[in-house]
A = this chain, B = another copy of it.
Amino acid sequence: MEKIKVMLIEDHNVFREGLKKLIDLEENMAVVAEANTYQQALQNINDNVDVTLLDINLPDGDGLDLCTKFKKQYPHIKHVALTTYDDAIFIKKAMECGVDGFVPKHAFFDEIKAAILMTYKGRSYLYPGLSTDTIIHLSEPGLTESELNILQLLASGKNQKEIAGQLYISLSTFRRRVKSIFKKLKVGTIEEALTVAIKKGLIH
């Protein structure tokens, strides 16, 4: 039987090494490529790969962007997203980027194995341990690009006037957006919104 050829994209070296070992010990799969940054992933990807296991939080870029790019250039490759966060907003975003499987890092290897197998066979895989709570929230509205932008700029220490200027919107609109963020994240202050956003990996 042909082995499933896996590519690992993950910046935590120990984690990647351990994962590689576990996969290589499996009879029906093998790691054929690795990358620990966004840039390296672009270089090391090749036609030979069947499935990628990709960490979404890379130091030099968003793993989901990577997925979008790969989908165009190598449409036959399947992608399993691997992440610390299992929030609804996040899963939704992953799905929109064409991810085939989604597994949080707190899962067991068996589940990653299952995800690789399933996606390889052309089906999609959603981590079964996801709380029903999370599933229910899947239909919740995600933050818009502009809203994420605002959070990112707030996180960098800019004040509201500066940000509004930079985004070419009025202070009024800015504040409307912030209000909208509050409602979507169910928080009451910018501080809390930032905390939640960072924890969910929405901004970096």
Residues of A within 8 A of B (CB): 11-15, 17-19, 21-22, 25, 84, 105-109, 112, 154-159, 187-192, 194-195, 198-199
- Tell me, in angstroms, the Cα distance from A159 to B187 when the chains sit together: 12
Q: Provide the residues of chain B in CB contact with A155, threshold 8 Å.
A: 191-192, 195
In the assembly, how many copies of this chain are there? 2
Given the interface pairs A191-B157, A192-B157, the reply to whether A106 lies near B13 with Cβ below 8 Å is: yes
Q: Contact at B13–A107, with CB atoms within 8 Å?
A: yes
Interface of A is mostly: helix
- Tell me, in angstroms, the Cα distance from A12 to B83 when the chains sit together: 10
Q: Provide the residues of chain B in CB contact with A108, threshold 8 Å.
A: 13-14, 17
- Tell me, in angstroms, the Cα distance from A91 to B106 when the chains sit together: 25
Q: Provide the residues of chain B in CB contact with A15, threshold 8 Å.
A: 12, 14-15, 18, 105
The one of B11, B21, B191, B199 in contact with A22, judged by C-beta atoms closer than 8 angstroms, is B21
Q: List 18 A-B contacts (CB under 8 A).
A: A14-B15, A14-B22, A14-B105, A14-B106, A15-B15, A15-B18, A17-B108, A17-B109, A18-B19, A18-B21, A18-B22, A154-B191, A155-B195, A156-B195, A157-B192, A191-B191, A191-B194, A198-B199
